[in-house]
Amino acid sequence: MTPEPLNDHEHQVAVALSAAHATATAIAPVRESLGTDLDSAYRVQTELIGNLRDTYGYRTGRKVGLTSPAVQEQLGVDQPDFGVLLSGLETDNGGTIDTAHLVAPRVEAEVAFVLSHDINDADPEHVRQAVDYAVAALEIVDSRIRNWDISIVDTVADNASSAGYVLGSTRLRLDEFEPREVAMELQASGEPVSTGTGAACLDDPLNALVWVAETALRLGDPLRAGEVVLSGALGPMVPLEAGNTYEARIGPLGSVSVTAIGKE
In a domain, 161, yes or no: yes
The string of pLDDT tens digits covering residues 128-144 is: 999 999 999 999 999 99
Q: For the chain, how many structural domains are there in total?
A: 1
In a domain, 2, yes or no: no
Domain harbouring 131, CATH code:
3.90.850.10
Would you say 230 and 211 are in contact if contact means Cβ atoms under 8 Å apart?
A: no
In a domain, 99, yes or no: yes
Q: Report the phi/psi class of residue 3: left, alpha or beta, with left for phi > 0 and alpha for psi in -120 to 50.
A: beta
Q: Report percent pLDDT > 70 for the chain.
A: 96
In a domain, 67, yes or no: yes
In a domain, 143, yes or no: yes
On average, the pLDDT of the chain sits at 93
Amino acid at 46: T
What per-residue confidence (pLDDT) applies to 264? 64
Angle between helix 38-56 and helix 8-23 axes, rounded to 10 deg: 40
Contacts of 94 (CB under 8 A, 6+ apart): 257, 258, 259
Summarize the confidence of residues 77-91 as an average pLDDT.
Answer: 91
In a domain, 160, yes or no: yes
Residue span of the structural domain in which 85 resides: 8-261
The string of pLDDT tens digits covering residues 181-206 is: 999 999 999 999 999 999 999 999 99
Dihedral angle over CA of 104, 79, 119, 125, nearest 10: 130
What per-residue confidence (pLDDT) applies to 189? 97
Count the alpha carbons within 13 Å of 225 in the hemisphere toward its beta carbon. 3
The string of pLDDT tens digits covering residues 18-40 is: 999 999 999 999 998 898 888 89
The string of pLDDT tens digits covering residues 107-117 is: 999 999 999 99
**DSSP percent split of the chain into helix, strand, coil, nearest 5:** 35, 30, 35
In a domain, 190, yes or no: yes
In a domain, 3, yes or no: no
